Structure 1
Amino acid sequence: MKKIVKFQWLSVLMLAFLLVGCGTADEKAKEDTSKQGAQTEELGYKVKDDRGEEIAFDAVPETVISLAPSNTEILFALGVGDKIVGATDYDTYPAEALEIERVSDSMVFNSERILGLNPDVVIAYTVGEKDALKVLEDAGVKVFVIQSATSFEDVYGDIEQLAKVMGVEDKGKQLNKEIKEKIAVVEAKVKDVETPKNVYYEVSSPPNIFTLGDDTFQQDILDAAKVNNVFGDQKGWIQVSEEEIITKNPEVILVPSIGDKDVVGGILGRNGWNTVQAVQNKQVFSLDEDTLSRPGPRIGEAVELVAKAVYPELFQ
């Protein structure tokens, strides 16, 4: 779990009282000096990012570049999406994000264009591109790094961090409260499920099949929906074989939607998969890829999508 550091706004207010009667000239001079110091003191704040770097801000950023769709969604959910001047090719939600200038394909960003936009802060996605980020920092751009979330708690922490950066801490707390409430509603509907169904979640299709295990925020989605991930005994992103999946014999298969491609039909028609319960019973469901893959404000919706697909009778 990432550590979130709390900070307080620093402010000092000096009040000058009118001296009457026997006040000396020296006392008045000291008072005037204190008053001027209070008027000229600069206000600012610092927020620690996921590198452990304390990023100092003299004022709340007015222009922001987001280098990850999840962070873009968080910023919009916090009510400051209108401050984003640069985003990635995959920033598609909410609809307003489509109007933002593209400065990255999520893997490589256009540092020249970012510098040209002169943002108050760049919200970077991970600590992986240290050299690339250094180009921006060497040019004087503030870079705030959010590391990829591996749990719901990480997502809540990301929201808190960005809310602090953007000066909307109360909105951050309210957003996390609303997300948790949405998840709680789903958990209440599935709480009486005695035997969770065995589920296989396919991230990518053959020939290179990937799924996910523990230490991913998607595992938290599956847990909250009260389903059993057949690969939950492993950690992270896992490459698996068709034989392993067939042996696991899941009752339900979940697969992210990919454009207009018939991903469900593709799984139902795979050679050798006709012995799998999910295929035999046609319990293969395509779910919105962005909702399930982005560690942002829609994780509550993701839990609901999974629970509705696996236990539709509980949502009638």
Structure 2
Amino acid sequence: MPTGSRVRGSGFRVRTGLAVGLMLALALSAATEPAGAQPPRVIALAPHLAELAFAAGAGDALVGTVAWSDYPAEAAELPLIGDAFRLDLERVLGLDPDLALAWEGGTPAAAAERLEELGIEVAWIRIGRLEEIGSALVEIGRRLGRPDRGQQAAKDYRSALAERPEPAEADLPTFYQVSERPLYTLGGRHILTEVLRRCGARNIFADLDVEASAVDYEAVLARQPAVIVAGTEPGGDDPLQRWRRDRDHLPDDLSLIAVEPDTLIRPTPRIIDGIDLLCRLLP
């Protein structure tokens, strides 16, 4: 009997040790669980960043965004914290975010530094080319706790982009008008330059090493565009009225096209729709 008692006691100690080990393992697993299991509270510092968060399946992590964040509809319902260049820090603090999505090349460095001083992590998102929209979807999905959905969104986008390759030649001289007064256009750094190339067109101000710039009316004419594309808002004034008024002094074959700008110039998956529309409208 004593020997059997010792055997049973040993088994009990083994089972107890295994149970304790399992509990410790579970505790360590919980302590080291990826932050993605509980999405951070996030603010988007540009309209396209809010749209990308929703496209990556992580819109529910957003607690605030900036003016003109109007797509999808859920983005327009989020609290506003300012615009792409000026933030209301009191509103930001009231939302208690722990992560801010910043626009590399657009968000002022001083604004990002102030957020970091307040203990808010800043994630810079760079999109300079169409292919980088896919990378942004992956990164945002990862940072906001939806890695699988971000990767799937990127895969879908890249597949759609691959179906729309650049033609061998892109030589249709095209002027893109952001605004009439002052007369603003987009330069070589802006993704629109690549969008135009997908449709066989050439940005006549692609040599400007900037995202956007004011230009002179005479400078536009000197570059002899065959097409003028102007962004327009529903219910707004005709953005091409000056060109139409001066039609007698312009080439007879100059094409004037007005388009809704968001799908053309916002670096999000919807830019595929913008490419398709522009390619249909260009002569």
Tell me the TM-score normalised to structure 2 length: 0.81
Contact 2:169 2:200 in 1 (8 A): no
Instruction: Return the match for 1:144 from 101, 123, 148.
Output: 123
CA distance in 2, matches of 1:168, 1:300: 23
Instruction: Return the match for 1:171 from 123, 131, 149.
Output: 149
Residue in structure 1 matched with residue 243 of structure 2 by the alignment: 267
Residues 160-218 of structure 1: per-residue CA shift (max 9 Å, x gap): 1101012222222222232233334444xx85x87742211122335x43323333211
Residues 25-57 of structure 1: per-residue CA shift (max 9 Å, x gap): 998887666434322222244xxxxxxxxxxx4
Residues 118-154 of structure 1: per-residue CA shift (max 9 Å, x gap): 234222334754443344334333332324x221133
Contact 2:170 2:197 in 1 (8 A): no
Instruction: Report sequence identity in percent.
Output: 26
CA distance in 2, matches of 1:37, 1:143: 34
CA distance in 2, matches of 1:135, 1:234: 31
Find the structure with the greater CA-based Rg: 2
**Aligned pairs (5 A) from 1:286-301:** 286-301=258-273
CA distance in 1, matches of 2:111, 2:208: 32
Cα 1:182–1:154, aligned 2, differ >3 Å: closer, same or farther? closer
Q: Secondary structure at the match of 1:182?
A: helix
Residue in structure 2 matched with residue 218 of structure 1 by the alignment: 192
CA distance in 2, matches of 1:247, 1:226: 21
Residue in structure 2 matched with residue 230 of structure 1 by the alignment: 204
Cα 1:275–1:69, aligned 2, differ >3 Å: closer, same or farther? same
Residue in structure 2 matched with residue 250 of structure 1 by the alignment: 225
1:43 to 2:70 alignment: no
Residue in structure 2 matched with residue 182 of structure 1 by the alignment: 160
CA distance in 2, matches of 1:134, 1:25: 59
Shift of 1:264: 2.1
My pick for the range that moved more, 280-289 or 69-78, is 280-289
Shift of 1:222: 1.0
Gapped regions of structure 1 (runs ≥ 5) = 1-19, 46-56, 312-316
Tell me the TM-score normalised to structure 1 length: 0.73
Cα 1:36–1:99, aligned 2, differ >3 Å: closer, same or farther? same
Residue in structure 1 matched with residue 3 of structure 2 by the alignment: none
My pick for the range that moved more, 165-174 or 137-146, is 137-146
Residues 217-256 of structure 1: per-residue CA shift (max 9 Å, x gap): 1111111122122223443334432222212211111111
Residue in structure 2 matched with residue 133 of structure 1 by the alignment: 112
Contact 1:211 1:240 in 2 (8 A): yes
Q: Secondary structure at the match of 1:231?
A: coil
Shift of 1:155: 2.0
Residue in structure 2 matched with residue 203 of structure 1 by the alignment: 178
Q: Secondary structure at the match of 2:81?
A: strand
CA distance in 2, matches of 1:141, 1:242: 44
Gapped regions of structure 2 (runs ≥ 5) = 1-6
Count of aligned pairs = 272
How large is the Cα RMSD of the aligned pairs?
A: 3.1
Contact 1:183 1:224 in 2 (8 A): no
